[in-house]
Amino acid sequence: MKKRVVKRAYRYRFYPNPEQAEQLSRTFGCVRYVYNRALAERSRAWTQELRRISYADSDRMLTAWKRDPETEWLTEPSKGPLQATLRHLQAAFDKFWRKQTGYPRFKKKGRSKDSATYFGNCFSYRDGRIKLAKQSEPLDIRWSRSLPRGAVPSQVTVSRDTAGRYHISILVEETVAELPVSPDALGVDAGITSLYTFSTGEKVPNPRHEKRDRARLVKAQRVLSKKEMGSANRAKARLRVARVHARIADRRRDHLHKLSTRLVRENQVIAIEDLSVRNMIRNRKLARAISDASWSRFRSMLEYKAAWFGRTVIAVDRFYPSSKMCSVCGRINDSILLHTREWECLCGAVHDRDVNAAKNILAAGLAVQACGDGVRPPRS
């Protein structure tokens, strides 16, 4: 059985003491300042001088900022998180130049997620305990699962979400064995009424995590809107709203992880549709439901898990008429409307719209695997 070495991140929650929380808060602030200032310098250099600033140039600027009396407080945190945020900015520009994302945006306190990345020389890992640079005590980590035996962390990322929860993501190298070859292949059609419909006829109901907590969320947001700007009560109300959002996100992520793991374990080939979610959420009537479904995250989970375990994920072109084509005779019915859930072809076959689409996606995916055509490039 073939094995491969992969880089895998394990995420845990931890509880800092008051001293650690204060030090992390200062680190988050310095990271945000360096990122925003470097982004401003790169934007200015391009708009005014038509000159690109590289990562090496921004690293030299960071050294100058530390020596500046007005920003000498940048020397307080460890150097690792400040250099890491410059790398993250460079990666954001690389994606922008490849037209994968929009132009990098500034980080705003309270709006963007606070995080700091520590490289191997900026933390210690001994006897299952992690101590960050410039901290006197190890972090109180709740080990919900153990790290792989003999794994040595290469970097850690600590973060604080808007709900005030602290998490640490530990990156390790792990040897993963490919799963035994499976004879099964699956077509997956995404939807809203049914979250996913498979070519086997199975339908995964949509949990609608956001809708389940919508009443609680509306109440919390209504209370927040009545609080005075900048008051302590507004900060408490904002935290209640953030906790509801965090609860929704946790349930959604857990459900998608379980479903994606199951599909990768059971099927050798998984064919999905390449959806333009960014354009679809412009529909104001469906934007909330589409965002709650989180199709893009599910596809990402499928892709990286398939790469780990020797499976294949194929994305069929988004303009492929999977819903309008008869999976029996191949005739395309252009008269099908969006609200039509069942239709009958001239050949006599009666189709469930979603199951028929999943079968067509599977057929197109297998054709792509055999011929190598009709598929969009991987997002990576």
How do beta strands 350-352 and 185-190 pair? unpaired
Nearest Cα neighbor of 174 from 154, 194, 200 is 154
CA distance readout (Å), 248 to 172, 182, 192, 324, 331: 28, 34, 17, 34, 42
**Per-residue tokens: 73:** 């407080």
Cα distance between residue 228 and residue 239, in whole Å: 15
Indicate the pTM of the whole model: 0.86
Nearest Cα neighbor of 195 from 242, 247, 258 is 258
In order along its 380 residues, the chain shows pLDDT tens digits of 688 888 999 999 999 999 999 999 999 999 999 999 999 999 999 999 889 999 999 999 999 999 999 999 999 999 999 999 999 999 999 999 998 889 999 999 877 889 999 998 999 999 889 999 999 899 999 999 999 888 899 999 999 999 999 999 999 999 888 899 999 999 999 998 899 999 999 999 999 999 999 999 999 999 999 999 989 999 999 999 999 999 999 999 999 999 999 999 999 999 999 888 888 888 888 888 889 999 999 999 999 999 999 999 999 988 888 888 898 888 888 888 878 888 888 888 888 889 999 999 999 998 888 876 555 544 54
Q: Out of 114, 210, 273, 292, which one is annotated catalytic?
A: 273
pLDDT for the residue numbered 380: 44
Contact 195, 205 (CB under 8 A): yes
Q: Out of 114, 292, 303, 354, which one is annotated catalytic?
A: 354
**What are the structural domain ranges in the chain?**
3-177, 185-207+250-371
Q: Which residues contact 211 (CB under 8 A, 6 or more apart)?
A: 292
Contact 345, 335 (CB under 8 A): no
Sign of CA dihedral 335, 340, 345, 351: positive
Q: Which residues contact 355 (CB under 8 A, 6 or more apart)?
A: 189, 197, 199, 201, 203
Q: Please say if 273 is a catalytic residue.
A: yes
Render pLDDT for 26-45 as a digit per residue (tens, 0 to 9).
999 999 999 999 999 999 99
pLDDT for the residue numbered 3: 84
What one-character DSSP code corresponds to residue 136?
A: S
Q: How crowded is residue 94: how many other Cβ atoms within 10 Å of its Cβ?
A: 12
Q: Please say if 354 is a catalytic residue.
A: yes
Q: Please provide residue 277's backbone torsions phi and psi, each rounded to the nearest 5 degrees.
A: -65, -35
Q: Out of 114, 189, 210, 303, which one is annotated catalytic?
A: 189
DSSP secondary structure string, 327-375?
Answer: TTT--B-TT--TT--EEE-TTS-EEEHHHHHHHHHHHHHHHHHHH--SB
Q: Please provide residue 239's backbone torsions phi and psi, each rounded to the nearest 5 degrees.
A: -65, -35
Q: How crowded is residue 209: how many other Cβ atoms within 10 Å of its Cβ?
A: 20
Q: How crowded is residue 168: how many other Cβ atoms within 10 Å of its Cβ?
A: 23
Provide the CATH number for the domain formed by 185-207+250-371 in this structure: 3.30.420
